Amino acid sequence: MIKEIEKNLKEKMDKTIQVLKHEYASIRAGRANPALLDRIHVEYYGSETPLNQLANVTAPEARILNISPWDAKSIPAIEKAIQKSDLGMNPSNDGKIIRLVVPQLTEERRKDLVKLLKKQAEEAKVAVRNIRRDANDNLKKHKKDGDITEDELKKSEEDTQKMTDKFIKEIDKLAELKEKEIMEV
């Protein structure tokens, strides 16, 4: 039972890290990254469709993204969706491929992005701490029901805290790496 609680705890904390990594991938760091367009949804035949389901997105150069739609008729809709997004980029097309030039970030924009990533890191830490609290509450409930002993409860709480500390360190490391990437000129 304790192993099951710890396994569940680790899975939830891993999921939190994966969500944070996904959020960080969509933050623009002055370099072209196909993940920048993951949040873009295109109005295509009456439904909102993710861009990555309508086209192949590649980064042939450090500051250029190529979007190759599978249906050439979707090019105007894709361009419109990119212009409506918060990316601040203007698409250009040659009839087959849409090109996006990723502009250099200003110092002010870099600082704003760092604030955003620190906020996301803090939210991830809060999520990890909430997962720890839920696991500890579950363990205390089992202790109250007589399923585990006081010693097992203390040992499990210590293990839970060690795991929490490990994941919070990982979140800090991810935030630090992304901050360096953003502040790099």
Residue 120 is predicted with a pLDDT of 93
Asked whether the predicted pLDDT for residue 170 surpasses 90, the reply is: yes
Q: Using CA atoms, how far apart are residues 53 and 47, in angstroms rounded to an integer? A: 12
Local confidence band at 52 (pLDDT 50, 70, 90 cut-offs): confident
pLDDT at 30: 67
Q: Provide the sign of the torsion angle of the four alpha carbons 177, 115, 87, 106, taken in this order.
A: negative
User: What total of structural domains would you count in the chain?
Assistant: 2
Do 165 and 115 lie in one domain? The reply is yes
Q: What is the pLDDT of residue 164?
A: 95
| pTM of the complete model | 0.71
Summarize pLDDT for 67-108 with one digit per residue, the tens.
999 988 888 999 989 888 877 788 888 888 999 888 777 888
- Mark which of 42, 71, 101 sits at the end of a domain: 101
CA distance 158 to 162: 6
The residue segments making up the domain with residue 161 are 2-25+106-183
